[in-house]
Chains A and B, each alone.
Chain A
Amino acid sequence: MRNARRIALVVLCALLAGIVVRLRGKGSVPPTNGGWRELEGPDFR
């Protein structure tokens, strides 16, 4: 019974940590779809 409670506590902590990391994490995925456009006049202002 005590072990089951411990396991439940560990799972709960892991879930909470996961939620915090997911919400606060700043790591973003760079753009992957699109294409290259040559820089021209307006880009140099």
Chain B
Amino acid sequence: MTTALLVGAGAVGVRAGRQLVDTPGLERLLVADRHAERAAELAEALGGSAVPYGPLPAGTDVVALAIPGDPAVPYAHRAAVAHVPVAAVSDDPTGLTGLLALDPLARDHGVLVVVGCALAPGLSDVLARHAADALDAADEVHVARVGAAGEACAAAVRRARRERPVEWRDGRPRTARRLGPELVWFPDPVGARECISVAGVETIHQAVPTVTRATLRAADVPPPRRRLLGPPRPRDDWGAARVEVWGWRASARDAVVYGVIERPGVAAGTVLAVATAKIAGLLPAVQLRTPAPGARALGAVVEPAPFLAELARRGVKAAAFEGVTVP
């Protein structure tokens, strides 16, 4: 009997919960949130049970963290100490760094902590790995993203756009100069968006360790539409990610470009649910690239092809750009 603890009942948590209860082999879903009433509401809707936010309930087999980085790190720490595997959705640079820093602890306790299970990082890293596998040698990865799942995610994107960007160059992350926006083409209906370089390239390097240059760009996230009375409208804009991987194929320079469009909450929730189910020992069709314990990025943990196939089966479909490279 597999019991999953879902922490966070926001835009991503709701979608992740729905996907988790639809996963064969998962018998029990526990839901925790800072706001107890939201946890109770989601648990009731999904046929699960609400539990207090903070402690790790006894009998938990796997933890899915659909919360920002700051609270996610101590939660993941508690789970790792209790030998319970964790999948975390946090996409803010501080949260990513804090979760990846749990690597020695996770190794010591023989547990897997999967970091960055969202649209980008997350699905974008898996696509980067898939693209790198299609080349003889990959050395350059450029990821761009549009959209945010909820207000916490939108605030993290705005903060990242204000801070100095970090690029992966010559074997290590380096703080780069802030350059002007660059026009990036995403699949329709998102189309062309102006994106600027931000931090968060560590997961790309983990997914494609041979990379010598990696960048992450993010488009601006507009503030939520206000109502005259009551809370702001929930976000329902399209999100997108574009992954461009350069390398060598048969001694010629070549690029593979993948893209994905989806509501950011749906994409992140589905990615988180599939990653959580896999590390709980479910979904036999999805394979782990490296099952060894540790805290690693999603792109370094899963085999990309079956993972993408499972996402496509659940409605999150990626696309390849078939274009003509100008020499």
Contact = CB atoms under 8 A, between A and B. Distances in A.
Contacts of B308: 39, 43-44
Nearest to B134: A43
B319 A38 contact: yes
Interface residues of A, number: 18
B273 to A, nearest CB: 19
B105 interface: no
B318 A34 contact: no
A26 B212 CA distance: 13
A14 B184 CA distance: 33
Nearest to B319: A36
Interface in B285-327: 305-306, 308-309, 312, 317-327
B116 interface: no
Nearest to A26: B253
A2 B317 CA distance: 68
Contact of A31 (B258, B319, B321): B321
A22 interface: no
Given A26-B253, A28-B246, A45-B305, A36 B188 contact: yes
A32 B321 CA distance: 9
B321 A35 contact: yes
Contact of A30 (B244, B309, B327): B244
A29 interface: yes
A3 interface: no
Contacts of B323: 30-35
A37 B317 contact: no
B136 to A, nearest CB: 15
A15 B312 CA distance: 52
B255 interface: yes
Contacts of A38: 317-319
Nearest to B187: A36
Residue from the set A36, A38, A40 with the largest chain B CB neighbour count within 10 Å: A36
Given A36-B259, A39-B318, A39-B320, A28 B325 contact: yes
Interface of A: 26, 28-41, 43-45
Given A31-B325, A34-B322, A43-B308, 17 more contacts: A26-B253, A28-B255, A30-B244, A31-B257, A31-B321, A32-B324, A32-B326, A33-B323, A34-B321, A37-B321, A38-B319, A39-B258, A39-B317, A39-B318, A39-B320, A41-B309, A44-B308
11 contacts: A28-B253, A28-B327, A32-B324, A35-B321, A36-B187, A39-B258, A39-B319, A39-B320, A41-B309, A44-B306, A45-B305
